[in-house]
Amino acid sequence: MKPSRKIDFARINARALASADSILVRWLPDGRREGTEWVALNPRRSDKRRGSFKVNLHTGKWGDFAAGASGGDLVSLAAYLFDLGQGEAALKVSDMLGVDPHV
């Protein structure tokens, strides 16, 4: 049996952050850029107004202050939005970006 290879979360997150604008338009198409943040409706709850769900375009940190959900990077955002584990989200993001996901 072949040993599993370690996922390079740092590389994946760095590449995702470099493409944050286009990724967030794809994942959260109802959002808009407000300064250094992407502000959108949270698709995981019945959000009616933008304002509580934000993603920092420079750091990747995100939070939904109305729901108490937050994370430190775009891989964790993918995991949250698409109900995936961190590893599975990292692999999906790396595939979307054409990045080798392994160390």
- Both tokens of 12, joined, read 């994946």
CB 41 within 8 A of CB 47: yes
**70-86 residue pLDDT tens:** 999 999 999 999 999 99
Which residues form the domain of 27? 9-41+51-94
Q: Residue 52 carries which side chain, given as an amino acid letter? A: S
| 26 in a structural domain | yes
The tally of domains found in the chain comes to 1
**21-51 residue pLDDT tens:** 999 999 999 999 999 999 999 999 888 888 8
Best CA proximity match to 74, nearest among 5, 2, 24: 24
Alpha helices in 3-103 (DSSP H): 9-18, 20-27, 74-82, 86-97
| 3 in a structural domain | no
Q: What is the CATH number of the domain that holds 70?
A: 3.90.580.10
**91-103 residue pLDDT tens:** 999 999 999 999 8
Angle at 22 between CA 97 and CA 67, to 5 degrees: 100
| 2 in a structural domain | no
